[in-house]
């Protein structure tokens, strides 16, 4: 059973005078949130045998600070398809994950990550976690999905959302998020 952890990039700076959205760096709160989420996932013993990420600067910096908290640096596969991707494109990336991996981390952007969770996890009035994702998937939040089969078996309504954790859930100083 594969486990896919989706990490939205941490809070970026809109005040930095960069010319392209792709080049926006993290702000101080984003750096702290990424490190906090890394510490949390390590404490929960969530390991990864594959990492795939958008090559945008804010994702690269999110991973740098995430690794500081996680205590281990993992070499990501940079995939430009993830940058500002739709849920359908992200699902293609999931289908292309290496068959030998079972625990993948995907780091990217909204609204694609949120839409991917909502596509894969069936709607249910009893699923409070899915309801939280539907309300808002803030920066540096993580969602963990599982389903039967392999990566190619990921399909609409076929996954379970086993975790949804926001930085503010771990440190009140990191929320509420306004993005």
Q: Provide the CATH number for the domain around residue 8.
A: 3.40.50.1240
Partners of residue 3 on adjacent β-strands: 103, 146
Residue 23 lies in a domain: yes
Does 158 reside within a domain? no
Please give the residue range of the domain that contains residue 127: 3-148+163-174
Question: Does 179 have pLDDT greater than 60?
Answer: no
Integer distance in angstroms from the first to the last C-alpha of the chain? 33
pLDDT at 17: 72
Number of domains in the chain: 1
Mean pLDDT score across all residues of the chain:
94
In angstroms, rounded to a whole number, what is the distance separating the alpha carbons of residues 27 and 16? Answer: 9
In a domain? residue 123: yes
Is 24 within 8 Å of 16 (Cβ atoms)? yes
Confirm whether 27 is domain-assigned: yes
Residue 175 binned pLDDT confidence (cut-offs 50, 70, 90): confident
Residue 60 lies in a domain: yes
Instruction: Read off the pLDDT of residues 26-77 as tens digits, 9 standing for 90 and up.
Output: 999 999 999 999 999 999 999 999 999 999 999 999 999 999 999 999 999 9
The CA distance from 144 to 129, in Å, is 10
pTM of the model: 0.95
Residue 179: inside a domain: no
Tokens linked to 100:
């030998």
Distance CA 23, CA 15 (A): 12
pLDDT at 53: 98
Domain membership flag for residue 15: yes
**Model pLDDT for residues 65-104, shown as the tens digit of each residue:** 999 999 999 999 999 999 999 999 999 999 999 999 999 9
Residue 18 confidence (pLDDT)? 67
50-53 vs 142-146, strand pairing mode: unpaired
Q: Are residues 63 and 76 in contact, defined by beta-carbon separation less than 8 angstroms?
A: yes
Is residue 21 in some structural domain? yes
């Amino acid at each position: 059973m594969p486990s896919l952890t989706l990490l939205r990039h941490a809070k970026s700076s809109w005040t930095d005078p960069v010319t392209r959205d792709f080049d926006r760096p993290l702000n101080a709160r984003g750096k702290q949130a990424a490190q906090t989420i890394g510490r949390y996932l390590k404490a929960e013993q969530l390991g990864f045998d594959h990492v795939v990420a958008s090559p945008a600067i804010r994702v690269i910096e999110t991973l740098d600070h995430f690794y500081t908290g996680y205590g281990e640096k993992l070499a990501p596969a940079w995939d430009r398809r993830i940058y500002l991707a739709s849920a359908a494109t992200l699902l293609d990336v999931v289908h292309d994950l290496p068959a030998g991996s079972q625990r993948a981390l995907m780091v990217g952007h909204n609204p694609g990550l949120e839409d991917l969770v909502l596509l894969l996890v069936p709607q249910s009035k009893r699923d409070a976690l899915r309801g939280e994702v539907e309300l808002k998937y803030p920066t540096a939040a993580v969602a963990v999905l599982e389903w039967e089969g392999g990566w190619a078996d990921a399909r609409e309504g076929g996954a379970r959302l086993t975790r949804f954790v926001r930085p503010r859930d771990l440190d009140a100083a990191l929320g509420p998020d306004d993005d």
